[in-house]
Amino acid sequence: MAIMTIEINDAIRSAMLDQAESCFPNESCGFIIGSYAGDMAKGDYYIPCDNDHGHNQQRRFLIDPMAYQLAEDTADANGQSIISIVHSHPDHPDLPSEFDRLHAWPGISYIIIAVFAGQVRSYRSWQLSDDRSVFHQEVINPGD
């Protein structure tokens, strides 16, 4: 598995971080839509989603399958892909949890945003290994 580099512009960064702070103390979630070129994924825009987890939204998120399908269909229609699923960890670090590992898919980036006391502290991107045993940290580069 090659470690990816994900490029996100200021608009994407602002949208996902603002959403993470506004959803606190609950987890936020959304998609980055973009394209792949070799080991680089370039984000074009961010789609925020509602956290549809029925309970414990402070520790879990759930994206409605229809919201996922709509994001995927929209991306496909424009020759793009979902390149990252974004979610926040309220009052926890930006490290994947065991729950994240069990529910993630190899081949897609996962940006995790650490939000403490309502303020973003940090964020990192991760990709699950093909054998699903471990996450590998990815590089996040600023985009145009």
Domain count, the chain: 1
Query: pLDDT grade, residue 56 (50/70/90)?
Result: confident
For 20, the enclosing helix (H) or strand (E) is: helix 10-23
pTM > 0.75: yes or no: yes
Ordered DSSP codes for 77-116: HTT-EEEEEEEEEETS-SS--HHHHHH--TTSEEEEEEEE
Domain of 39, CATH number, reads 3.40.140.10
pLDDT of 10 > 70? The answer is: yes
Residue 63 domain boundaries: 5-142
- pLDDT tens-digit readout, 80-106: 999 999 999 999 999 999 999 999 999
Q: Say what the pLDDT of residue 95 is.
A: 97
pLDDT of 2 > 70? The answer is: no
Q: Please, are residues 143 and 14 in contact by the beta-carbon 8 Å criterion? A: no
Compute the mean pLDDT over every residue in the chain, rounded to the nearest whole number. 94
- How many angstroms separate the CA atoms of 22 and 73, rounded? 27
DSSP 55: S
